[in-house]
Chain A
Amino acid sequence: MSKKVYADAKSALDGLLHDGMTILAGGFGLCGIPEHMILAVRDSGVKDLTIASNNAGVDDFGLGLLLQTRQVKKMISSYVGENKTFEAQFLAGELELEFNPQGTLAERCRAGGAGIPAFYTKTGVGAIIAEGKETKEFDGQTYVMERGLTGDLAIIKAWKGDKAGNVVFRKTARNFNAPMATAGKVCVVEVEELVEPGELEPDGIHLPSIYTHRIFQGQDFEKRIEFRTVSEA
């Protein structure tokens, strides 16, 4: 039995949580979020968290649950539009917010995970998010420097994983999960199906096991849909 395999979210996060830590949380909207680990973080009572996540969940699901319990000190996100709790706490000055353009947030994680401390991008040049940041000209164009991002912990949701820690995502639930997994000092992955090594096609693995420190199979995923849009059959 691999030492990476844990029984559930609570045991998989045991010893990893502390006040004031930075957590990278995968997902886009409510798609591909580590719903079991978010609940376990809430139940642990850990506080003053800085959470990097593209969105902040909705009021009663996803990261919105950690806002309700006021465990979050700061969010690093690109879009927080679907959450009234967030709005109330932000306007009351109880919650810090660092907006990152979505591609900048993704690249900060990719860079952080690849040992790259900073990079230059055209995104945000001329906008308030570039104020106070170093700029540089390359080939006659202005670029702004952005820092690589790492976190104390990455909480990641995937479809299938093997007991060695190799991971496959499903459809658009991959999103930030892959780059954030590489940028956590410790990365814990929750999967819908945990299989034996050898059962996943080596050529089809999205996240190599080296990035996965702990893995567990979640039970009864809710996988809530934010906007159910359908067409006539």
Chain B
Amino acid sequence: MAWTRDEMCARAAQELEDGFYVNLGIGMPTKVANFIPDGMDVNFQSENGMLGMGSFPTDNEVDADLINAGKQTITETPKSVYFDSAQSFAMIRGGHINMSILGALQVAENGDLANWMIPGKMVKGMGGAMDLVAGVKRVVILMDHNAKDGSAKLLKECNLPLTGAGVVDDIITELGLFRIGEGGVHIQELAPDVSVDEVRERSEATIVTQ
């Protein structure tokens, strides 16, 4: 049984550590915040200028001046602090953020990441993704193992424009947890009843077992 999306998020949350400063990407990575293990203290950074991001507001708490990087309304927490965009990216580029969990279009076995552009289609932009992968200590990718058309996303080389070269540390998909390492993509953990053969069939990258 492959992991559900909630199980993928819960697995990603287990990679967090007490006291970590973490930046979550837009989409599925945002939901990792719902699965923080009890008793663990994690500070979420929102790159538009906030540390200590809280959950969505109730109707009467909504504040137009308080949004996350996905432009959604949020709340503050007792530890919240606000700052400008240059300060925010000084934290990111200066290596002060412990972990970033991001989505991906493609990941290559050398750690190259493509997640911002599909040529020929409308290009929305990279936002803060290039800064995050270049500066954050550990980059964890949370993505579906295959594209909607079934094609592999875990590749020998990315063919989409890169967000960063050699920047990915770990990948979590519905099939398991994988780590970029010597000789390719190393299986760290498989979802229940998922076989190494299935991972190999559904990937183009070189899959290394322990």
Binding site for B on A (CB under 8 A): 28-32, 54, 77-82, 87, 90-91, 99, 101-107, 109-110, 121-129, 159, 169-179, 206, 223-233
Contact = CB atoms under 8 A, between A and B. Distances in A.
A228 B70 CA distance: 11
A179 B58 CA distance: 32
Contacts of A129: 126, 130
B183 interface: no
A174 B71 contact: no
Given A127-B130, A172-B50, A227 B70 contact: yes
Contacts of B28: none
Given A102-B47, A227-B72, A122 B135 contact: yes
Interface residues of B, number: 52
Interface in B154-180: 161-166
B86 A109 contact: yes
Given A30-B71, A126-B165, A171 B65 contact: yes
A69 B197 CA distance: 57
A47 to B, nearest CB: 24
B82 A172 contact: yes
* Residue of A54, A127, A228 with highest tally of chain B CB at under 10 A: A127
A102 B131 contact: yes
B127 A102 contact: yes
A231 B58 contact: yes
8 contacts: A78-B127, A101-B131, A102-B89, A102-B131, A122-B134, A174-B82, A229-B73, A230-B56
Nearest to A231: B56
A54 B84 CA distance: 13
Contacts of B1: none
A28 B48 contact: yes
Contact of A127 (B92, B123, B128, B161): B161
Nearest to A104: B131
B85 A31 contact: no
B7 interface: no
Given A123-B93, A173-B65, A233 B58 contact: yes
Nearest to A182: B86
B46 interface: yes
A91 B122 contact: yes
Given A29-B71, A122-B135, A99 B126 contact: yes
Contact of A125 (B64, B74, B123, B164): B164
Contacts of A179: 84-86
A122 B93 contact: yes
Contact of A106 (B50, B56, B74, B88): B88
B28 to A, nearest CB: 15
A230 B73 contact: yes
Contacts of B47: 102-103
A121 B132 CA distance: 12
B84 A178 contact: yes
* Residue of B47, B49, B86, B90 with highest tally of chain A CB at under 10 A: B86
A110 B86 CA distance: 7
B59 A171 contact: no
Contacts of B181: none
Contacts of A102: 47, 85, 89, 126-128, 131
